[in-house]
Amino acid sequence: MATTHIGAAIGDIADVVLLPGDPLRAKYISENFLSNTVCYNTIRNMYGYTGTFKGKKISVQGTGMGVPSISIYATELIKDFGVRTLLRIGTCGSISSKVGLGQLFLAQGASTDNGVNRLLFKGMTYAPLSDFKLLSLASRKAAEKSYSFSVGNVLTSDSFYNEDESAFELWEKYGVHCIEMETSALYTIAARYNAAALSILSVSDHILTGEVVSPETRQTGLSELITLALEVASDY
Ligand code: HPA
């Protein structure tokens, strides 16, 4: 049964779904990495495709940017379409000298400046975590492939443009090395419905130095990101 945002039927979507923010990246992955691909969603141009990778049925669904948008897609995928494993693939900014441009970052947990969980947990602090089995599989595979990667806490922020750039110093002091806009919501929703989630991120910019990845490094980073996520999805 189609939902408000996903125009698919039960069975159209695989148990395991890759979640890029950009719907055109979902299209790109379906065209370049998956076989036997079918497009199951075009509502709001938030494309979703199902295909196979190494014989395993895998879907890839655009989520849009930010906590509200990914929350809609994660909730409907899990509750209405029975998805059990969700792998966000996206970019992040580094706020630490320990994490360099072009590296991969596996988000073990997510801190946030978003207010939804504070309301939900009545002012108390919930700690959104990745699925340990997905995290350990991804880190093992990244090491086997000799990808440069780190594992740690990300900041899921509601702001892409920040008035106060010094705000990141505090997070960095407490071991938060990267910033992005979706992971805390993904991990919270997955936990609520007993599903497994992991964010695999590629470091596209360095907030402290203002550096951004070159087009070549961006492409290499993205292909490492997609390859790693598909390998994890097909072996999980
Ligand atoms: N902020 C938030 N999200 C991001 C950034 C950033 O600087 N870079 C890539 N995703």
Whichever domain contains 133, its CATH number is 3.40.50.1580
Query: Does residue 7 lie in a domain region?
Result: no
Query: Does residue 139 lie in a domain region?
Result: yes
Query: Does residue 103 lie in a domain region?
Result: yes
Q: What is the pLDDT of residues 191-223, one digit of tens each?
A: 999 999 999 999 999 998 999 998 888 888 899
- Pocket of ligand 1 contains residue 193 by CB under 6 Å: no
207 Cα–ligand 1 center, Å: 8
Nearest Cα residue to atom 2 of ligand 1: 180
Query: Does residue 4 lie in a domain region?
Result: no
Q: What is the pLDDT of residues 66-83, one digit of tens each?
A: 999 999 999 999 999 999
- Pocket of ligand 1 contains residue 92 by CB under 6 Å: yes
* 88, 96, 157, 164, best to mutate for ligand 1 pocket (most atoms within 8 Å of CB): 157
Query: Does residue 133 lie in a domain region?
Result: yes
> Which two structure tokens, joined as six digits, stand for 75?
């909730």
pLDDT in the model for residue 221: 82
pLDDT in the model for residue 235: 95
Residue 169 scores a pLDDT above 90: yes
The range of the structural domain enclosing residue 68 comes to 16-235
Supply the mean pLDDT for the chain: 96
pLDDT in the model for residue 159: 95
Query: Does residue 161 lie in a domain region?
Result: yes
pLDDT in the model for residue 215: 85
Nearest Cα residue to atom 9 of ligand 1: 92
Counting residues of the chain whose pLDDT is more than 90, the rounded percentage is 92
Active site residue 205: yes
Query: Does residue 165 lie in a domain region?
Result: yes
> Quick one: which of 152, 174, 170, 180 has its CA closest to 66?
180
In this prediction, residue 162 has a pLDDT band, given cuts at 50, 70 and 90, of: confident
Cα of first residue to Cα of last residue in the chain, in angstroms, is 27
Please tell me the total count of domains within the chain. 1
Query: Does residue 9 lie in a domain region?
Result: no
Average pLDDT over residues 116-133: 98
Average pLDDT over residues 101-108: 96
Counting residues of the chain whose pLDDT is more than 70, the rounded percentage is 100
- Pocket of ligand 1 contains residue 65 by CB under 6 Å: no
Average pLDDT over residues 55-66: 98
Residue 170 scores a pLDDT above 90: yes
Residue 165 scores a pLDDT above 80: no
Average pLDDT over residues 170-185: 97
Residue 1 scores a pLDDT above 90: no
- Pocket of ligand 1 contains residue 155 by CB under 6 Å: no
